[in-house]
């Protein structure tokens, strides 16, 4: 059993502990599905105020749903669709304070109001994206972005 019990009171310490827990969880495991599944569980259980955490994988230039925690979600997106598509196309983190104001946002869970999507890139190749949704507007701060980007770096190395 894994019981990480990461304290979320201090955001910087939470992301530090989350990164080290993630490193430990994926260490020595080559299976990408297993690692994405555990990563989504760990992040979902640790971050306050999130309702969806998961992966979209780049399969032949299309984003295909991967392991996640939350409600069942849209299965496929092109790089021209949604916040995830924008992250994949631009290869830039997308931090959206109000998803309802984002042109082309795909609503998988009507409870979602803000979102952060981090592209996962290794050796110049886009592996996929890590998508985190929140029911709170403007949930994700600069500090969250820095922390989630770190998680993305760990994941990019092993997926
Ligand atoms: N909101 C996303 C779609 C995926 S769900 O949030 C899980 C988007 O527009 O990219």
Q: Is the CB–ligand 1 distance for residue 105 below 6 Å? A: yes
| Shortest-distance atom of ligand 1 to CA 71 | 7
d(CA 71, ligand 1 centre) in Å: 11
Give the pTM.
0.96
Among 149, 159, 82, 96, CA closest to 128:
159
Q: Please, are residues 154 and 19 in contact by the beta-carbon 8 Å criterion?
A: yes
Tokens of 84: 């995830």
Q: CA 19 to CA 106: how far, in whole Å?
A: 29
Nearest Cα residue to atom 1 of ligand 1: 106
d(CA 44, ligand 1 centre) in Å: 16
Pairing assessment for the beta strands 62-70 and 76-77 based on DSSP bridges: antiparallel
Q: Is the CB–ligand 1 distance for residue 111 below 6 Å? A: no
pLDDT of residue 3: 76
Tokens of 11: 């955001």
Q: Is the CB–ligand 1 distance for residue 56 below 6 Å? A: no
- Residue-level length of the chain: 159
| Shortest-distance atom of ligand 1 to CA 117 | 10
pLDDT of residue 8: 84
Q: Please, are residues 98 and 83 in contact by the beta-carbon 8 Å criterion?
A: no
Q: Is the CB–ligand 1 distance for residue 129 below 6 Å? A: no
d(CA 1, ligand 1 centre) in Å: 31
Tokens of 67: 């392991």
Among 81, 30, 83, CA closest to 52:
83
Nearest Cα residue to atom 9 of ligand 1: 82
SS3 of 57, please?
strand
Q: What are phi and psi of 38, to 5 degrees?
A: -65, -35
pLDDT of residue 30: 95
Per-residue tens of pLDDT for the chain, all 159 residues: 677 788 888 999 999 999 999 999 999 999 999 999 999 999 999 999 999 999 999 999 999 999 999 999 999 999 999 999 999 999 999 999 999 999 888 888 889 999 999 999 999 999 999 999 999 999 999 999 999 999 999 999 999
d(CA 84, ligand 1 centre) in Å: 6
pLDDT of residue 1: 66
**Which residues lie closer than 8 Å to 22 by C-beta, 6 or more apart?**
39, 42, 43, 151, 154, 155
């Amino acid at each position: 059993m894994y019981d990480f019990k990461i304290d979320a009171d201090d955001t910087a310490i939470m992301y530090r502990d989350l990164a080290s827990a993630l490193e430990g969880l994926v260490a020595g495991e080559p299976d990408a599905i297993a690692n994405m599944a555990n990563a989504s569980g760990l992040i979902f259980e640790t971050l306050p105020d999130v309702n969806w955490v998961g992966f979209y994988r780049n399969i032949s230039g299309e984003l295909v749903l991967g392991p996640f925690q939350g409600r069942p979600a849209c299965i496929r997106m092109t790089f021209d669709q949604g916040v995830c598509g924008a992250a994949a196309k631009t290869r830039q983190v997308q931090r959206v304070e109000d998803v309802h104001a984002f042109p082309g946002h795909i609503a998988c869970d009507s409870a979602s109001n803000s979102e952060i999507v981090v592209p996962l890139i290794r050796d110049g190749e886009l592996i996929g994206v890590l998508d985190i949704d929140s029911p709170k507007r403007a949930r994700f701060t600069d500090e969250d972005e820095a922390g989630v980007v770190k998680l993305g770096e760990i994941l990019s190395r092993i997926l």
